[in-house]
């Protein structure tokens, strides 16, 4: 893939991946420094927190299936890397996958020129 496959949408997804990883880990480090029962707090901090945790777990499960199915459909390799990135944060892993998927799709369409896609001309 050439650098030209960084579409505006791919860059947007990449920025969200960076923000998602940085922000979630900021709070993970804060929780670790407090010495809290990190995993126990997920389910023992009241119904609202438990609801959010279950919501994210279901979304992450669907995200993992989507990454594998869509990644195979697009012919992407090393899909396991994106699944391992769930260990960083789901808010990092899914946007990262979407950024790389967008690059793959853009590369298949041709060369990106601003917001419009143009097919490459064969060299004579």
Backbone CA torsion sign across 88, 92, 98, 101: negative
70-124: pLDDT as tens digits: 999 999 999 999 999 999 999 999 999 999 999 999 988 774 555 454 545 445 4
Task: Evaluate whether residue 86 is within a structural domain.
Answer: yes
* Angle, vertex CA 60, rays to CA 12 and CA 30, nearest 5: 80
**Do residues 92 and 17 touch, judged by C-beta distance below 8 A?**
yes
Number of domains comprising the chain: 1
The whole domain housing 29 covers 3-118
What is the structure's pLDDT at 83?
Answer: 97
Task: Evaluate whether residue 124 is within a structural domain.
Answer: no
**DSSP label at residue 113:** E
**DSSP label at residue 5:** G
Q: Cα separation of 71 and 96, whole Å?
A: 12
Phi, psi of 26 (to 5 degrees): -60, -45
Answer yes or no: is pLDDT of 18 > 70: yes
Comparison of pLDDT for 38 and 45, the residue scoring more? 45
53-65: pLDDT as tens digits: 899 999 999 999 9
Task: Evaluate whether residue 123 is within a structural domain.
Answer: no
């Amino acid at each position: 893939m050439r650098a030209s496959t960084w579409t505006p949408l791919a860059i947007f997804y990449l920025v969200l991946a960076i923000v998602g990883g940085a922000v979630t880990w900021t709070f993970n480090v804060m929780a670790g420094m407090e010495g809290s029962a990190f995993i126990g707090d997920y389910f023992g901090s009241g119904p609202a927190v438990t609801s959010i945790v279950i919501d994210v777990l279901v979304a992450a499960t669907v995200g993992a299936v989507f990454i594998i199915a869509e990644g195979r459909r697009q012919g992407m390799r090393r899909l396991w890397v994106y699944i391992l990135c769930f260990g960083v944060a789901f808010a990092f892993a899914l946007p990262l996958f979407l950024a790389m998927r967008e690059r793959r799709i853009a590369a298949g369409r041709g060369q990106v020129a601003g917001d419009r896609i143009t097919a490459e001309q064969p060299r004579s």
